[in-house]
Amino acid sequence: MSYAIALRNRFGALQFQEYALALVVIGLFVAGAILKPDTFPTWDNVRNMLTQASVIGVLAVGMTFVIATSGIDLSVGSMVAAAGVFAGTMAEPSGGTLIFILAALAFAVLLGTVNATAITFGRVVPFIATLAMLSVARGLALIFNDKLPVGLLDLNGGSFGDPSPFSLLWFGTGKIFGIPVSVWIFLGVVVAGWVVLNRTRYGRHVVAVGGNREAARIAGVPVRRVIFSVYVLSGLLAGLATVLLCARLGSASPVSGELYELDAIGAVVIGGTSLAGGRATMVGTFLGVLTFALIFSLMTQLDLSTEIQQVTKGAIVLGAVLIQRPEGRY
Amino acid sequence: MSGAAPTAAGPGAAAGEILLDVRGLVKTYPGVEALRGVDFNVRAGEVHCLLGANGAGKSTLIKCVSGVVEPTAGEILVGGEPLPERDTGAALERGVATIYQELDLVEDLSVAQNIFLGHEPRRGPLLDLGRMRSEARDLLARLGHDKIDPRTPLAALRPAARQAVSIARALSYEVRVLIMDEPSAILDAGEVETLFEVVRRLTAEGVGVVYITHRLDEIKRIGDRVTVLADGATAADGIAADTATDELVWLMVGRKVERLYPERPRAAGEVLLEVRGVRALPAVRGVSFEVRAGEVLGIGGLVGSGRSELLRAICGLDPREAGEVTVAGKRLPPNRPERAIAAGLGLAPEDRKSQGLLLDWSLTKNVSLADLGRFSHGLLDVRGEREAVREQLRSLQTVPDDPDRSARELSGGNQQKVVLGRWLLRECRVLLLDEPTRGVDIPSKAEIYRIVTELAGRGLGVVVVSSELEELAGICTRVLVMREGEIVAELDGAKTSERELLAHAVVPTAGPDLIEEVA
């Protein structure tokens, strides 16, 4: 037992899981290349996969921080919809891209702050607080524009076409060195998330709070402030995800972002971050996002229905949690 | 094991059959021998007191007997038959019930629901509430507590009444041996009388009662026989309860101890920590003292006397309702632990595993947690952090001193050094140590004493809270004794003894005659 722990520790439990997951990603890619040699291993397909993954990916980075504190944020999908419609109505008549982006970020941060306040000052458990926000934000998304989506093509002269740099659609479909801007942003957020989580005092505090709140408090970690901050951060990144999503679709829909929370939580969990807190890995989250993206791209190309994809998604998340079963007993 | 050879059952002991027989019980945890061969038996109709200093093995013995932990070696016979292994319910089924200090009742349920929790009377698939109430009423009446209405929510009851509910619950299981872990600790004098009345009723029915207490005077009043545990072994096995008090104290603490303690530090420096009238009810009721640089101040007392709560209130971990705390001239806000730490306070909590450490984290992260600012220049200098921690671990002679190991792998003594290392890295001025040697073996204890003394020598103020009064008498410059949330005595460490401290720590009724007999 102690030998097993020592061995695990020598290799690092997290790193082991990260290597294993990297192998899964490679395996999935190879499987796709074998099953669909003409369409799967193409640059176009990879670019598509990454572009689609970027929205969930940005949410998953925020979710990693939240889950590291042993919390959960169920409201990210609804926040994406609400922030999108809100920003759309703000920007639509006369405003520009900048107004849309600022409005989306600000509104999502506001919703995240409501979550944070309820959890830290109201002492509502995160599950309930964010479940309530899931409903509230979805309702707001429907109210803001009378249940209708807001078209955003005007921000690019009325069509998808070739987006000019820094117009809204450029963030969704524009490219830098052949790689979509949204993918650059996703990668940038992952790298920044890794640095903050592993190389700053704040990141260390986040994981400490999740690992042992009382021990963290005795060691002088400002526990309440840390917990507050992760929900605000999750809101901020939901705002960023809103921008990426709306930019790609050219509209802000009140029914967008449904079940995104499941995808984000699933990616974090199969990445190896512990739902019990105290153990978090940004590399794992990144690989988790890629795993999901690969699986669904492959399933779509194999003409498997979205129903089957949903069943698969849930099964993968359950399986991942079972594999990293915590030491706790029932 | 001791001078007092086991004698036959005392005069008061009923000559009942042996209900519970423990023979040569051994229990080892990694690095600690909690029980080293304990013999103990309980007869029908007697009150058998179990006595021992904190850490002597009483709790472990109870846990083994009630089937919560599995003994490493030895026999436990209930009604002549060995207890089956790996079956926590087996002891209860055979009539051995335990009432813990922390009553395991559910506040939101009614009295009757608590009594029958887990074995509710049923009629078909439905609860038989009528029978539950009437049987609960009968059980309480048997205990002389017929005033307690079975429908009352538990939360409305005072501690003494709750205890009666807990006993009634044990009786609902056809109990033959009832183990009571310090049942009087939460009661006042009048309530203790009621408790004794309950115990007498039970023994008259032929139940064997194991009564654990720190109050020596109670042994004579309620007990028939006494078993004394010291360092995990039986120092006296079932001697008469009217054995002289000083003989009992000697059996508890009079073991031979090697030269365990280093040279005692002397307080010389300025006042580093000043505590004035600190109150955090109900545990701390107005405490004042000061700690000087270079001094080791002991705070002794029994479990539940408010010592840990005092430390937590000083740090602001539990809010102070009144009083002032000043560290090196800086006054601390009442509920901001991070400010206390910034001012130079460091706490090594009572329970290292649940409060001190992140067990799955590396030693590096555990040690640096309180002082990440030192390595944070925008980003963390992880290499510098690791080196600084390695140096700290080496200077404390931690084994292993590899900063990449996880805290879980270390023994209790070394885990304690990791917690100490955290505050030394932080260069704190005043170190508050809560039970620093709990669960630590003798050689590691000696090391911790040496470290504590060295730190005081370097000019830190050190506060040591301990239930092991002997170690306070061994290492401290001054010792304060707490009882019921107040400081009741201040003694010169070099001149005091464990017995004197114990005399101050126990309740006043036992105090005066104990001093007379001991001194």
Predicted confidence (pLDDT) per residue in B467-499, tens digit: 778 889 889 999 999 988 999 999 998 888 878
Q: Which residue has the tokens 């291993």?
A: A41
Residue A2 lies in a domain: no
Of the residues B362, B379, B419, the best mutation for testing chain A's interface (the one with the most A CB atoms within 10 Å of its CB) is B379
Using the predicted structure, report yes or no on whether residue B1 has a pLDDT greater than 60.
no
Instruction: Determine the pLDDT at residue B11.
Output: 38
Residue in chain A lying closest to B314 (CA): A218
Q: Rg of the Cα trace of chain A?
A: 20
pLDDT tier, B182 (very low <50, low <70, confident <90, very high otherwise): confident
Using the predicted structure, report yes or no on whether residue B7 has a pLDDT greater than 70.
no
For residue range B457-470, what is the model confidence (pLDDT) as tens digits? 999 999 999 877 88
Residue A66 lies in a domain: yes
Question: Regarding predicted confidence, which is higher, A198 or A12?
Answer: A198
Domains held by chain A: number: 1
Using the predicted structure, report yes or no on whether residue B219 has a pLDDT greater than 90.
no
Question: Which chain A residues are closer than 8 Å to B372 by Cβ?
Answer: 201, 204-205
- Whether residue A214 and residue B338 make contact (CB cut-off 8 A), yes or no, is no
- Whether residue B380 and residue A201 make contact (CB cut-off 8 A), yes or no, is yes
Question: Which chain A residues are closer than 8 Å to B355 by Cβ?
Answer: 212, 214-215, 218
Using the predicted structure, report yes or no on whether residue B35 has a pLDDT greater than 60.
yes
Which long-range contacts does A91-98 make (Cβ < 8 Å, 24+ apart)?
A91/A152, A91/A155, A92/A150, A92/A151, A92/A152, A92/A154, A96/A155, A97/A155, A97/A166, A97/A167, A97/A168
What sign for the dihedral angle of Cα A74, A75, A78, A79? Answer: negative
For residue range B237-263, what is the model confidence (pLDDT) as tens digits? 888 888 877 777 778 765 444 456 788
Instruction: Determine the pLDDT at residue B197.
Output: 87
Query: From the list A211, A218, A279, which residue is nearest B349 (CB)?
Result: A218
Instruction: Determine the pLDDT at residue B508.
Output: 57
For residue range B129-140, what is the model confidence (pLDDT) as tens digits? 889 999 999 988
Q: Rg of the Cα trace of chain B?
A: 25
Q: Is B377 within 8 Å of chain A by CB?
A: no
What is d(CA B301, CA B485) in angstroms, rounded to the nearest whole number?
10
Of the residues B332, B352, B360, the best mutation for testing chain A's interface (the one with the most A CB atoms within 10 Å of its CB) is B360
pLDDT tier, B442 (very low <50, low <70, confident <90, very high otherwise): low
The B96-99 sheet, strands edge to edge? B96-99, B177-181, B208-212, B47-52, B225-230, B233-240
Question: Hey, where are the domains in chain B?
Answer: 271-518
- Whether residue B404 and residue A222 make contact (CB cut-off 8 A), yes or no, is no
Structure tokens at A140: 């707001």
What angle do helix axes B245-253 and B498-505 make, rounded to 10 degrees?
A: 120
- Whether residue A201 and residue B376 make contact (CB cut-off 8 A), yes or no, is yes
Structure tokens at A20: 């294993």
What angle do helix axes A13-35 and A2-11 make, rounded to 10 degrees?
A: 60
Residue A3 lies in a domain: no
Q: Which residue has the tokens 């941060």?
A: A109
pLDDT tier, A14 (very low <50, low <70, confident <90, very high otherwise): low
Residue in chain B lying closest to A195 (CA): B379
What's A318's domain CATH number? 1.10.3470
Residue A137 lies in a domain: yes
What is d(CA B328, CA B345) in angstroms, rounded to the nearest whole number?
10
> Which of A254, A202, A234 is closest to A115 using CA atoms?
A234
pTM: 0.76
| End-to-end Cα spacing for chain B | 25
Percent of chain B with pLDDT over 90: 34
Nearest chain A CA: its distance from B484 CA (Å): 25
Of the residues B88, B308, B358, the best mutation for testing chain A's interface (the one with the most A CB atoms within 10 Å of its CB) is B358
Instruction: Determine the pLDDT at residue A330.
Output: 41
pLDDT tier, B2 (very low <50, low <70, confident <90, very high otherwise): very low
Considering only B70-79, B107-116, B156-165, B290-299, which range has the smallest mean pLDDT? Answer: B156-165
Q: Is B347 within 8 Å of chain A by CB?
A: yes
DSSP state of A252: E
For residue range A126-167, what is the model confidence (pLDDT) as tens digits? 999 999 999 999 999 999 988 888 888 777 666 666 777 778
Classify B264 as helix, strand or coil.
coil
Range list of H helices, A146-222? 168-173, 181-199, 201-211, 213-218
Nearest chain A CA: its distance from B445 CA (Å): 23
Query: From the list A5, A9, A199, which residue is nearest B382 (CB)?
Result: A199
What is d(CA A90, CA A150) in angstroms, rounded to the nearest whole number?
10
Of the residues A195, A212, A218, the best mutation for testing chain B's interface (the one with the most B CB atoms within 10 Å of its CB) is A218
Question: Which chain B residues are closer than 8 Å to A221 by Cβ?
Answer: 338, 369
Query: From the list B338, B342, B372, which residue is nearest A201 (CB)?
Result: B372
What is d(CA B24, CA B37) in angstroms, rounded to the nearest whole number?
4
What is the CA angle B166-B168-B169, rounded to 5? 65
Instruction: Determine the pLDDT at residue B154.
Output: 86
HEC assignment per residue over B179-227: EEECCCCCCCHHHHHHHHHHHHHHHHCCCEEEEECCCHHHHHHHCCEEE
pLDDT tier, B422 (very low <50, low <70, confident <90, very high otherwise): very high
Instruction: Determine the pLDDT at residue A325.
Output: 60
Instruction: Determine the pLDDT at residue B509.
Output: 47
- Whether residue B409 and residue A5 make contact (CB cut-off 8 A), yes or no, is yes
- Whether residue B315 and residue A195 make contact (CB cut-off 8 A), yes or no, is no
Average pLDDT, chain B: 84
For residue range B302-335, what is the model confidence (pLDDT) as tens digits? 777 889 999 999 999 999 999 999 998 899 998 8
For residue range B66-109, what is the model confidence (pLDDT) as tens digits? 888 888 888 888 888 888 776 777 888 888 988 887 677 888 88
Domain B271-518 falls in which CATH fold? Rossmann fold (3.40.50)
Give the A-side interface with B, CB within 8 Å.
2, 5-6, 9, 195, 199-201, 204-205, 208, 211-212, 214-222, 278-279
